[in-house]
Amino acid sequence: MSSDFTALRRRFPVLQRKTYLNSGSYCALAESVRAAINAYMDDRVLMGANWDVWVTKNEAVRAAMAEVLRVTPAEIAVTASASAGLNALASALDFTGRRNKIVVSDFEFPTNAQIWHAQEQRGARVVHARRAADGYIPAESFAGLIDEETLLVAVTYVCFRNGAKLDIPGIVRLARAHGARVLLDCYQAVGAVSVDVRALGVDFAVGGMLKYLLGTAGIGFLYVRAELLPQLIPANSGWWAQENIAAMDITANRPAASARRFEAGTPAVVNCYAAEAGLKIILEVGTDAIEARVRELSRRCMDGLEEIGWAAVTPARDDRRGPMVAIASRDAAGLFAHLMQQDIVTSFRDANIRATIHFYNSEDDIDTFVAAMKGERAAFQPGGGR
Ligand SMILES: Cc1ncc(COP(=O)(O)O)c(C=O)c1O
């Protein structure tokens, strides 16, 4: 396990040129990830196709992702995106009975609400847990919604708009009491926060490799708790989801016994190369060490913003925050552009600027950002920074 963060930082060249606080949108590229993509390109140039090696890459990603989530490889499907995993799972659920309600929250990334609303044509009913007056959604807000008719509670771990982290153990307790399953969208957390799906008690989880997992776009995962696999037969399928991929049997659908049954067609080979290399770094540093480092830096950012009189909208409590610090602005797009001119890379959603932090960020990165925000107060803070 390595936690010399100064040395680790050197592996990400963009950090020498930019104050990069944008991992919640797309991670900084590590040299080793770039080398992995180049290794694939070398195969293409030198051999044309190298399928014997390529097929092992999908399995390497599965094994590494299982290690990150602290589960078995048989519980992981390697998918093209978080959305692909959600759709495959939804296709295995039956909404025709009395238990047909899906509970989502106001903090969801669109895909984890839209896909469930899309199931309304198959009999699903979707209800939303609303935010409370303080902007947070406590577990109690789910209490009146989760009942004996609830099939699934599908919730984000960290909200992509404001960085708030939901009380997953509290939500899981409510779901369990009523026999409902829980799906965790951990895309804005996994890689920067330890996501121990067994300890959290969730049944399913989705995410992808382009943010805190240090890989690339076009590859994601679906976790399905082993005990549930036999009863879930996806209607979305394909030849790579079959028990025997080589069978080429066109007379039947014989899904794999493992979570591979939620996959579909030929894997995105180049993305597997990048994802494997990214996951390797996460496992080398260790998710507990990463979480502690990210918390320290996000706390510094929260405190710094408070000091300049422009407090974040992200919850102040450490247990209600992941790697994102979100700050409300009069003109988030304008502020984003101003920061970019100072080589500070952030992102924005709605009225919020988002500083998203990984272990490779430094105290200097945070201080540079806070100092720049101080300079932008008069022009961009709601109320004019007075
Ligand atoms: C919380 C969350 N869920 C889901 C997604 C979308 O995932 P995908 O594009 O892989 O379907 C994102 C992307 O930013 C996200 O932040």
Shortest-distance atom of ligand 1 to CA 108: 1
Quick check: CB of 81 below 6 Å from ligand 1?
A: yes
Give residue 269's pLDDT: 96
- Answer left, alpha or beta for residue 48, where phi above 0 means left and psi between -120 and 50 means alpha: left
Residues with pLDDT less than 70, the chain:
1-2, 385-386
Is 257 within 8 Å of 113 (Cβ atoms)? Answer: no
Distance 205 CA to ligand 1 centre (A): 12
Per-residue confidence (pLDDT) for residue 383, from 0 to 100: 86
pLDDT of residue 20: 98
Q: Find out whether the beta carbon of 22 lies less than 6 Å from any atom of ligand 1.
A: no
CB 24 within 8 A of CB 323: yes
- The CB of 352 under 6 Å from ligand 1? The reply is no
Q: Which amino acid is at 202?
A: V
- Is 207 near ligand 1, meaning CB less than 6 Å away? no
**Confidence at residue 142, expressed as pLDDT on a 0 to 100 scale:** 97
What pLDDT sits at residue 249?
94
**Residue 292 burial (CB < 10 Å; 0-12/13-18/19+)?**
middle
Give the number of the atom of ligand 1 that is nearest the alpha carbon of residue 211: 14
Q: Report the pLDDT value the prediction gives residue 3, as an integer from 0 to 100.
A: 74
One-letter amino acid at 353 equals I
82 lines ligand 1 (CB under 6 A): yes
**Sheet containing 347-349: which strands, arranged edge to edge?**
324-328, 352-356, 347-349
Contact 131, 80 (CB under 8 A): no
